[in-house]
């Protein structure tokens, strides 16, 4: 904001300097006409090659060139100057030229409203056709330029001028005279400057129009674009009226364009101010300014000169607009509205430039119209504001992006991104209740053994710390094996895998990680934990359930229940990893894993018995070797047990225990065999609870 303040101050200073330089106050050394004569015989054209032919000219009212009397009472007319209403006249100036030969030139903008130029008694240029009545006068608003050679003596300059199509006639602008080369260069430089300004306004308008098309919800760029295009057209139809050089227009059309752009510019400028500070600019006021401009525009339907009489009254509304703008800006400054300081400087430059131009239009001062310069400063100021807004928006975007990333990261912890991929969704916001897909996947359930007992021995904070630390250890292992966690059920983890081998590998890695985790817990004096894992492969439904207010990902399938039941059976068999027969069949190479058939069970809801298998890859090297070597005896014992040959089965399990003494599964089966052979008075336990 401080940089914008500095830049705006600099631009405003440039405007004031330009206004001061543009003022027609001439240095005292410049010559002026006295009683119809301008003496330039001793004038040094090398130091000041261009002069204004201002001062007292011979004046012949109600006369044209052919009516000039040979002798009459001399009256004088100060140029530039105007008269009110209709009229026609001839003004004449004698210039005493330097003695040395030189090429001179004269230049005049359009004068109200038709004139012809005579040099040394010869008509050399003109704009329109002067006449004594409205019917014989043809108005025009073209500028004229003429060069001639002089070797000294006198040069007689005569203007024949008439007005029947404007509220004010006479000489609106200074007539410039000087060395032809310098004057031609001066005129061209002013035209280049106006073309430069027009180009700036056209580009600024196009740029803001493009911004509006990109984001139509904000109409401020559209209003500013229309404002710039209006000023672009106005530059070509005011002052030197360059449009006449390329597209000669009728007097009426040219004046209508000049007035329409004036009537349109004021409400558009105020409209932009309202869009900038909507809280401080009542909507009814902007409608009032548009209504005023529309009413004045209707005057253009009348024949000229009637539309010209409305202009001073409209210029009065300019000062009303200035008062409103000052009020709005003051309130914005008072409340610390964003960008209020640079916008204040922009509008102040417009107010200064507009005031100068109104005064110049009434011949109270003589300057070039500098409103384009004020507008140029406003455009540069707007460019700085836009760049500042873009910077702020970029910073805000970065903050929002960072926050969005955090939110997405947080949401992804609740709804795994892999879950989205399976549903064919790229983003969380694309998810809707009812999105679902049917897919065959492998489900892994993991649960901490005796967690309730452990949690009762510690406080709630320590319970949550245990859970979080345990999950932090398990989740990376699951993800590294291309799986993802779908749910947390207290101390239980449910993970999904597309590849069955990945699920089994993840289970083995999880048990290995638990061993490392327990070592750290024991070192800290904490209790070691055991984790049971159950794995089953089957068809399931993945989808989103909930309402528009709250949604959740879920998996629906009997396979989920079976995997959960396998995890629970670990406690009964004393195992750590159990897989179903369906999972075993889906393994690409079952021989790469150390496993054995543990039992054949009929689960609730199933019509057939299902084999379950125990994985032993997580065991120590010695235990793995014993696990592998005892497999044949163990599986033979399982078959004999289910055949009802409990004595033979008991012998097989004893043989397995001689090879692998720490086999909890063999010990369990041996106990069950003994219960079948020597039943006690109590009820014999037939096997695990499969409810």
How buried is 112 (Cβ within 10 angstroms: 0-12 exposed, 13-18 middle, 19+ buried)? buried
Q: What is the pLDDT of residue 194?
A: 85
Q: What is the pLDDT of residue 100?
A: 85
As a whole number, mean pLDDT of residues 37-53 equals 92
How far is residue 68's CA from residue 551's CA, in Å, rounded to a whole number? Answer: 98
As a whole number, mean pLDDT of residues 675-681 equals 75
Q: Are 650 and 670 in contact, with CB atoms under 8 Å apart? A: yes
Q: Is the pLDDT of residue 318 over 90?
A: no
Identify which of 569, 593, 571, 570 has the alpha carbon closest to the alpha carbon of residue 583: 593
How far is residue 306's CA from residue 297's CA, in Å, rounded to a whole number? Answer: 12
When the pLDDT of each residue in the chain is averaged and rounded to a whole number, the result is: 84
How far is residue 632's CA from residue 635's CA, in Å, rounded to a whole number? Answer: 5
Please provide the size of the chain in residues. Answer: 691
Q: What is the pLDDT of residue 381?
A: 75
Q: What is the pLDDT of residue 548?
A: 59
As a whole number, mean pLDDT of residues 465-471 equals 89
Identify which of 391, 494, 569, 423 has the alpha carbon closest to the alpha carbon of residue 4: 391
What phi, psi does 93 have (nearest 5°)? -140, 135
Q: Are 296 and 321 in contact, with CB atoms under 8 Å apart? A: no
The secondary structure element, H or E, covering residue 4 is helix 2-22
pTM: 0.62
What phi, psi does 589 have (nearest 5°)? -145, 95
- Please write the tens of the pLDDT for every residue from 123-177: 999 999 999 999 999 999 899 999 999 988 899 999 999 999 999 999 988 899 9
- Please write the tens of the pLDDT for every residue from 260-291: 999 998 899 889 889 888 888 988 899 999 99
If one compares 11 and 121, the residue with the highest pLDDT of the two is: 121
**Cross-strand pairs, 153:** 97
Q: What is the pLDDT of residue 149?
A: 93
How far is residue 575's CA from residue 613's CA, in Å, rounded to a whole number? Answer: 10
Q: Is the pLDDT of residue 192 over 80?
A: yes
Q: Are 280 and 337 in contact, with CB atoms under 8 Å apart? A: yes
What is the CA 462 to chain-centroid distance, rounded? 48
| Stretch among 386-400, 413-427, 492-506, 532-546 having the lowest mean pLDDT | 413-427
**Cross-strand pairs, 91:** 59, 159
Q: What percent of the chain has pLDDT over 90?
A: 46
- Please write the tens of the pLDDT for every residue from 217-264: 888 889 989 988 998 998 888 878 888 888 889 999 999 999 999 999
As a whole number, mean pLDDT of residues 570-590 equals 93
**Cross-strand pairs, 483:** 497
- Please write the tens of the pLDDT for every residue from 607-619: 788 899 999 999 9
As a whole number, mean pLDDT of residues 369-392 equals 73
The DSSP string of 11-37 is: HHHHHHHHHHHHS-PPPTTS--BBTTE
Q: Is the pLDDT of residue 679 over 80?
A: no
How far is residue 69's CA from residue 293's CA, in Å, rounded to a whole number? Answer: 48
If one compares 272 and 5, the residue with the highest pLDDT of the two is: 272
Q: What is the pLDDT of residue 230?
A: 92
Tokens found for residue 414? 């609740």
**Max Cα-Cα span within the chain:** 160
Q: What is the pLDDT of residue 23?
A: 44
Q: What is the pLDDT of residue 16?
A: 47
The DSSP string of 534-565 is: EEEEEEEEEEEEE-SS-EEEEEE-HHHHHHHH
As a whole number, mean pLDDT of residues 319-326 equals 86
How far is residue 476's CA from residue 629's CA, in Å, rounded to a whole number? Answer: 33
Identify which of 289, 271, 267 has the alpha carbon closest to the alpha carbon of residue 281: 271
Helix 631-642 vs helix 664-677: angle between axes, to the nearest 10 degrees?
30
Q: Is the pLDDT of residue 597 over 70?
A: yes
If one compares 557 and 325, the residue with the highest pLDDT of the two is: 325
How far is residue 557's CA from residue 540's CA, in Å, rounded to a whole number? Answer: 5
Which phi-psi region, left, alpha or beta, contains residue 687 (left: φ > 0; alpha: ψ -120 to 50)?
Answer: left
Peptide bond into 113 cis (omega under 30): yes
Q: Are 557 and 533 in contact, with CB atoms under 8 Å apart? A: no
Say which residues have a Cβ less than 8 Å from residue 638's Cβ, sequence separation at least 6: 597, 598, 599, 600, 649, 669
Q: How confident is the model at residue 36 (pLDDT cuts 50, 70, 90)?
A: very high
List Cβ<8 Å contacts ≥24 apart for 255-262. 255/141, 255/304, 255/307, 255/308, 256/300, 256/307, 257/233, 258/234, 259/297, 259/300, 259/307, 259/311, 260/297, 260/300, 261/230, 261/231, 261/233, 261/234, 261/237, 262/234, 262/311, 262/314
Q: What percent of the chain has pLDDT over 70?
A: 85
Cα distances (Å, whole numbers) of residue 24 to 52, 364, 366, 452, 472: 10, 11, 5, 98, 83
As a whole number, mean pLDDT of residues 191-201 equals 87
How far is residue 229's CA from residue 269's CA, in Å, rounded to a whole number? Answer: 12
Q: Are 447 and 491 in contact, with CB atoms under 8 Å apart? A: yes
The DSSP string of 253-287 is: HHHHHHHHHHHHHHHHHHHHHHHHSTTTS-HHHHH
CB atoms within 10 A of CB 14: 15
Identify which of 269, 217, 533, 292 has the alpha carbon closest to the alpha carbon of residue 382: 269
Half-sphere exposure of 496 (CA within 13 A, CB side): 26
């Amino acid at each position: 904001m401080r940089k914008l303040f500095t830049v705006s101050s600099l631009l405003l200073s440039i405007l004031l300097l330009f206004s001061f330089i543009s003022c027609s106050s001439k240095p005292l050394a410049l010559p002026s006409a006295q009683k119809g004569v301008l003496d330039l015989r001793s004038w040094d054209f090398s130091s000041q090659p261009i002069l204004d032919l201002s001062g007292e000219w011979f004046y012949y009212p109600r006369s044209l060139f052919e009516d000039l009397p040979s002798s009459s009472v001399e009256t004088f007319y100060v140029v530039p100057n105007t008269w009110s209403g209709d009229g026609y006249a001839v003004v004449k100036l004698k210039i005493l030229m330097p003695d040395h030969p030189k090429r001179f030139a004269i230049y005049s903008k359009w004068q109200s409203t038709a004139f012809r130029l005579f040099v040394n008694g010869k008509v050399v240029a003109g704009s329109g056709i002067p006449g004594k009545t409205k019917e014989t006068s043809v108005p025009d608003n073209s500028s004229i330029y003429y060069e001639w050679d002089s070797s000294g003596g006198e040069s007689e300059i005569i203007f024949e001028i008439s007005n029947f199509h404007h509220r004010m006639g006479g000489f609106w602008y200074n007539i410039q005279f000087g060395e032809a080369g310098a004057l031609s260069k001066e005129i061209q430089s002013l035209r280049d400057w106006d073309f430069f300004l027009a180009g700036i306004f056209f580009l600024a308008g196009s740029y803001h129009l493009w911004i509006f098309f990109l984001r139509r919800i904000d109409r401020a760029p559209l209003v500013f674009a229309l404002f710039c295009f209006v000023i672009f057209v106005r530059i070509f139809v005011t002052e030197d009226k360059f449009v006449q050089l390329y597209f000669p227009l009728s007097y009426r059309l040219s004046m209508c364009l000049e007035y329409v752009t004036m009537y349109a510019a004021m409400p558009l400028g105020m409209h932009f101010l309202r869009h900038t500070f909507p809280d401080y600019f009542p909507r009814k006021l902007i409608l009032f300014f548009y209504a005023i401009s529309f009413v004045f525009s209707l005057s253009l339907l009348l024949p000229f000169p009637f539309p010209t009489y409305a202009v001073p009254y409209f210029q009065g509304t300019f000062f009303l607009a200035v008062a409103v703008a000052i009020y709005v800006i003051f309130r914005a400054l008072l409340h610390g509205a964003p960008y209020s300081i640079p916008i204040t400087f922009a509008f102040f430059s417009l107010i200064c430039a507009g005031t100068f131009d109104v005064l110049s239009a009434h011949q109270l001062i003589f300057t070039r119209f500098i409103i384009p310069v004020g507008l140029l400063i406003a455009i540069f100021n707007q460019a700085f504001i836009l760049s500042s807004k873009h910077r702020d928006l970029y910073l805000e975007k970065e903050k929002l992006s960072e926050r969005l990333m955090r939110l997405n990261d947080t949401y992804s912890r609740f709804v795994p991104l892999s879950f989205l991929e399976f549903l064919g969704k790229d983003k969380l916001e694309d998810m809707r209740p009812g999105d679902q897909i049917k897919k065959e996947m492998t489900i892994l359930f993991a649960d901490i053994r005796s967690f309730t007992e452990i949690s009762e021995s510690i406080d709630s904070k320590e319970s949550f710390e245990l859970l979080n630390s345990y999950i932090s250890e398990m989740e990376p292992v699951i993800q590294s094996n291309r799986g993802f966690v779908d749910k947390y059920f207290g101390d239980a983890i449910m993970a999904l895998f597309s590849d069955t081998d990945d699920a089994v590998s993840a289970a083995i890695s999880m048990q290995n990680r638990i061993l490392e985790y327990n070592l750290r817990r024991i070192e800290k004096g904490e209790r070691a934990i055991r984790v049971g894992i159950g794995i089953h492969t089957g068809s399931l439904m993945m989808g989103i359930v909930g309402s528009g207010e709250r949604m959740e990902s879920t998996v629906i399938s009997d396979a989920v229940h079976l995997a959960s039941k396998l995890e629970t059976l670990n406690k009964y068999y004393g195992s750590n990893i159990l897989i179903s027969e369906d999972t075993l069949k889906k393994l690409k190479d079952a021989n790469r894993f150390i496993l054995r058939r543990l039992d054949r069970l009929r689960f609730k809801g199933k019509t057939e018995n299902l084999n379950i298998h125990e994985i032993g890859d997580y065991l120590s090297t010695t235990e793995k070797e014993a696990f592998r070597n005892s497999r044949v005896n163990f599986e033979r014992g399982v078959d004999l047990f289910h055949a009802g040959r409990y004595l033979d089965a008991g012998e097989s399990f004893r043989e397995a225990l001689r090879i692998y003494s720490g086999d909890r599964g063999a010990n369990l089966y041996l106990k069950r065999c003994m219960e079948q052979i020597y039943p006690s008075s109590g009820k014999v336990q037939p096997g695990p609870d499969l409810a």
